[in-house]
A and B are shown apart, each in its own frame.
Chain A
Amino acid sequence: MAGELASSTASPRITRGSSRRVAALRLLRRRLIQAVPLMLGVVVINFVLIQLAPGSFLELMTAENQVSDPATIALLRKTYGLDDPVWLQLLKYIWALMRFDFGFSYRQNIPVIDAISVHLPATLLLMISSITLALAVGIAAGVVASMKVRTVWDTLVSVVAMFFFAAPGFWLGIMLIVLFSVKLGWLPVGGMATIGGASSGFAAVLDILHHLLLPTLALGLFYAAVYTRVMRSSMLEVAQLDFVRTARAKGLSRNRVTISHVLRNALLPVVTILGVQMGTVLAGSVVIESVFSWPGVGSLLFDSVSSRNYPVVLGIMVLGSLMVIAANIAVDLVYMWLDPRIEIR
């Protein structure tokens, strides 16, 4: 294992532990500093998109609320700073976002940030359960395929993974509904809870899990396929390294070596991919939520897109990017924990 390798050369355990904590904090600080220009970039892209939009927010809002009084429109122009020069508008926009002021959702009549935070837990739940499923299935299938390499099992795993890798998530979701909800009647068609069902306690949790299963499969199986492929090739690669041969020469059984030596090191590429794909998982949940009427950010985005509720759409894009940045920092820390040899720049 990597830890064992390192411990033979590094200083005693106690100092190593504390120095690792220092290194982790240093990494965290550097990542946070790097995140600032990234976030600024996202905001600028957002701003450019607003400027590119045919017709201003104001025209849309006034049309939406059927305002035609010129005095009111002039007042709104002043309120929204539309008469300011573009650079000042940008600065004001950045300043507003820094205070988590994402504007106002004129449809729901609440601040955008409130509209999003109401829907966020459902999306996080779906994302976490899908990633968990994908990791569990992907790692297990990848390990099996690599241990039985070039056998029927290997081929079977690869073929199944190829199919899930190519199937559109929304279509897979619909097919799952057809099979498990319409034909078999085992699972609900959509939503997050049974209407009029238990609202608290164990029964409510069970009810949510019942509703969670199909969306989790629809979103997670694609990533399970990705992780299977990555895990398989990574296992095969690590198995050829010198320390694995040493472990075998020590007299450890093949399974023991695979589980405790190869597996841990082979996980690193999976962690990398997980970080890179955090944004696509979030984006994928938009479509899956729309298929299953899952009351998350995706459903909100879909409603906002259909009603051209720009402030909410842009707010979701900014917050989504923020989430991706945060997730990537977390992944870097996990990476460091998995492999102490790695110095992340």
Chain B
Amino acid sequence: MQRLELPRFEFIGRFARNRGALIGALLILVVALMALLGPLFFPVDPLRIVGQPELWPGEDPDFPLGTDSLGRDMLSMIVHGARATLLIGLFASAVATVIGVGVGATAGYFGGWIDEIAMRAAELFQTIPNLIFVLTIVVILGSTLTNIVIAIGVVSWTPIARMTRAEFLSLRDREFVQACRAMGMGDLKIIVTEILPNALPPVIVLSSLVVAGAILFESAVSFLGLGDPNVASWGRLVGDGRLLIRSSWYICAIPGVAIMITVLCLNLIGDGLNDALNPKLRDR
């Protein structure tokens, strides 16, 4: 297999020179650690009532981020919510990437009417207003975590498919691919083992942005009260605090800040990866 990518250390060096991307990556690491190790520091069920209700942040040192309307620890809920939010974002992005790469690779490699149909399908999925589509799927099939993840994946795959298709179009007639064909290698094997590895870097960048988008989708679905009732994601925390904005607006504000920082960092990472992959475009 031939690889057309740049040397790895050069890539990392370029990424690290982008200050925004570096900060983003470090903060995401913190959020990820929080999601992984959170339960060790906050072993109590975050939905258990532990203190007085509606304690403002800083009012009681036991609860640095305060308590919600029922007296549940905000910090513990944020830490546990990180796990739900990140996992949903990652899985939804994985679903979108699998569909998008599958469709895009087939379309770009075979071309012709297969390409035509695949691109019409992509157009179709872009036409249906995305969140309305997600809500419709979730309300018809039920508000389970799996359905939400699939629904978000189903509305997010089109940019990945377009990107993969473009990469395949530019790679499919290169010499190394022609050599494989001449050797009698099958189409599937060429797609998976020869072209795909070379087409992946820009696709991965896009996937990281899809994670950010998926987190926003999930938070909106949960905020509207259609999330999985067993999962306390950040979006649901904002929705829960919504009725208390007159007395305790921090209950809404804190999980929202968590969503914003996470999405912001993912976007910064995506930008950084993009710049590192296409140094020519850095100033744009």
Contact, CB under 8 Å: A310 / B130: no
B241 and chain A: residue at smallest CB distance: A174
- Smallest Cβ-Cβ distance to A172: which chain B residue: B256
**CB neighbors of B among A154-199 (8 A):** 162-163, 165-172, 174-175, 177-178, 182
A175 and B238 CA atoms in complex are apart in Å by 11
B267 and A302 form a contact (CB under 8 A)? no
Per-residue CB proximity of B222-252 to A under 8 Å, as 1/0? 0111100000000100100010011001001
In the complex, A131 has a CB within 8 A of chain B:
no
Give B77 Cβ to nearest chain A Cβ, in Å. Answer: 16
Residues from chain A with Cβ under 8 Å of B131 in the complex: 280, 283-284, 286-287
CA distance A308 to B142 in the complex (A): 10
CA–CA, A175 to B252, complex, Å?
8
Q: In the complex, which residues of chain A have a beta carbon less than 8 angstroms from the beta carbon of B137?
A: 49
A42 at interface by CB-CB < 8 Å: yes
Q: In the bound complex, do residue A37 and residue B120 qualify as a contact, i.e. CB atoms below 8 Å apart?
A: yes
Which residues of the partner chain A approach B121 to less than 8 Å between Cβ atoms? Answer: 41
Q: Which residues in A have their C-beta under 8 angstroms from that of B235? A: 168
Q: Are B242 and A283 in contact (CB under 8 A)?
A: no
**B residues within 8 A CB of A50?**
140
Q: How many A-B residue pairs have CB under 8 A?
A: 146
- A336 interface residue (CB < 8 Å to B): no
- Chain B residues with CB under 8 Å of A134's CB are none
Q: Which residues from chain B contact A328 at a C-beta distance below 8 Å?
A: 127
Contact of B124 among A42, A282, A287 (CB under 8 A): A42
Is A302 within 8 A of B224, CB to CB?
yes
* Whole-angstrom CA separation of A276 from B129 in the bound complex: 10
CB neighbours (8 Å) of B261 from chain A are 166
Binding site for B on A (CB under 8 A): 37-38, 41-42, 45, 49-50, 52-54, 162-163, 165-172, 174-175, 177-178, 182, 233, 236-237, 276, 279-280, 282-284, 286-287, 290-291, 301-302, 305-306, 308, 310, 313-314, 316-317, 320-321, 324-325, 328
27 A-B Cβ contacts within 8 A?
Answer: A38-B123, A49-B137, A54-B142, A162-B268, A163-B264, A165-B267, A166-B260, A166-B267, A168-B235, A168-B260, A171-B256, A174-B249, A174-B256, A182-B246, A237-B284, A282-B132, A283-B132, A286-B135, A287-B131, A287-B224, A301-B132, A302-B224, A310-B139, A313-B136, A313-B140, A316-B132, A317-B136
